[in-house]
Amino acid sequence: MKIGVPKEVKNHEYRVAITPIGVHELTAHGHDVYVEKNAGTGSQIDDREYEAAGAKLLDSADEVWGNAEMVLKVKEPVAEEYHRMHEGLTLFTYLHLAADKPLTDELIERKVTGIAYETVQLPSGGLPLLYPMSEVAGCLAPQVGAHALMKAQGGRGVLMGGVGGVANAKVVIIGAGVSGQNAANIALGMGADVTLLDTDLDKLRMSFWRYNNRVHGLASSQLAIRQQVMEADMVIGAVLIPGAAAPKLVSNELVSQMKPGSVLVDIAVDQGGCFEDTHATTHSDPTFEVHNSIFYCVANMPGAVPNTSTYALTNATLPYAVALADKGWVRACRDDHSLALGLNTHDGKLTNGPVGEATGIDPVDLDEVLAAAG
C-alpha cells in the first residue's frame, strides 16, 4: 500500500503522524511510505532519519496526498487541505467530527473512508488511540492553568502551592478519566488542593487508592459542580463521551459567579468543550476572558510537547496502521471490531451514531457498511 504522511498545518501543530520506527515497520511489511519534507522537524525528527528507515521524501503536501492510498495524520484536515481529499482515500487520524460539521460534510461529499483515532474502542470501553494524547493533555492542563493564574497573565495571582501558612490553589477537575487522572497527578505534585468529580464511582475509588486519599473525590451532579466551581481557583474540564459532543457542564451564569481571575482549562475542546463559553483557541493566542475569568481552550494541547506526543502517538497507532496497510481497511475492520468502531465515513455515508446526533446527519449501520464493502 502507498501511505502518505503530510506535514501538519494546524496552528502551532508540531507533531507528525509517524516516527522513523513506524516507517521502518511499514516498509518492512512491503509498503511504500511517502513523507513530506520537514514533516518531522517540529518533533526533532530529521528527514535523514525517515530516509534511513525507508521513507521516500516528497517536496509538497499535494504530492504526498496525491500518491497515497492511505494518509496518516495527527490532526483533522483543515479547510486548506480539503481539496487534497479524494474518493477512495483512507484517512487515519483524529477527526473529532461531532464538533466539525464542515469537515464531516467534506468527507462525505468526497467519499473518503475516514477512520478516527478517537473512536477506536476496545471491548473494555477503553480508547487506545486517544489514551496517550489524553495523558499528555491531562499533564499539561495544570501547567498551562498555573501559568494563566499568574497576575501578569490576567489571573488571580495565586501559586499552586508550597508556601507555608498560605492556602494552596483549589483545583477542580470535572471528569476522572485518563486526562482527569493525569491532571490530578500533576496538580497534586504542584502542591494544589485537588478535587475530582465524576459520575463513575469506580473511577473515584481508583483515585482514592492511587493518591492515598490526598485527592478529594466527589460524585458529580449539577449542585456538586456548582459548589466546587464557585470555590475554585482553577477548573479543568476533562469530560469525554466517545465520538459525541461533550456535555456543557459549566454555564456562563456560573462563570459569572466564580472568583475574579480564576482559570478554566477545557481539555474537551476538540469535542466542543464542556464549558458553555468554550471556543477553540491556538497556541499563539491561547486564552480569552469571560466575565472576570480566563479560559484556556487550545484545541491541540499535546502539540506543545511534540517530541513526547509524536512518539507516544505512534506507539499506539502503529499496530492499527500496519493492519490497515497489510489487509486493507475492509478486512482490517472486519477482523477487529475495535478498529471498525473507528470508521466514521465511507463512500458518501456517515457510519457513527454519536457524530450523526451532533451534526444532524442520519448515519447508516456500521455492520451493513462492512458487509457491503469491497
The residue type of 303 is G
Q: Is 270 a catalytic residue?
A: yes
Q: What is the per-residue DSSP string for 75-103?
A: SPP-GGGGGG--TT-EEEE---GGG-HHH
369 neighbors 342 (Cβ within 8 angstroms): no
Q: Is 96 a catalytic residue?
A: yes
Beta carbons within 10 angstroms of residue 79's beta carbon: 9
List beta partners, residue 218: 197
Per DSSP (E only), the strands in 108-150 are: 113-116
Beta carbons within 10 angstroms of residue 362's beta carbon: 10
Helix (H) or strand (E) holding 194: strand 193-198
Query: What does the block give as the cell for 286?
Result: 491561547
180 neighbors 242 (Cβ within 8 angstroms): no
Helix (H) or strand (E) holding 20: helix 20-28
From the candidates 96, 198, 277, 346, which is the catalytic residue? 96
From the candidates 193, 233, 270, 277, which is the catalytic residue? 270
- Give the whole-angstrom CA distance, residue 140 versus residue 312: 15
What DSSP state is assigned to residue 336? -
Query: What does the block give as the cell for 24?
Result: 521502518
Instruction: Name the residue among 261, 280, 258 with its Cα closest to residue 270.
Output: 280
- Give the whole-angstrom CA distance, residue 144 versus residue 127: 25
Residues identified as active-site: 96, 270
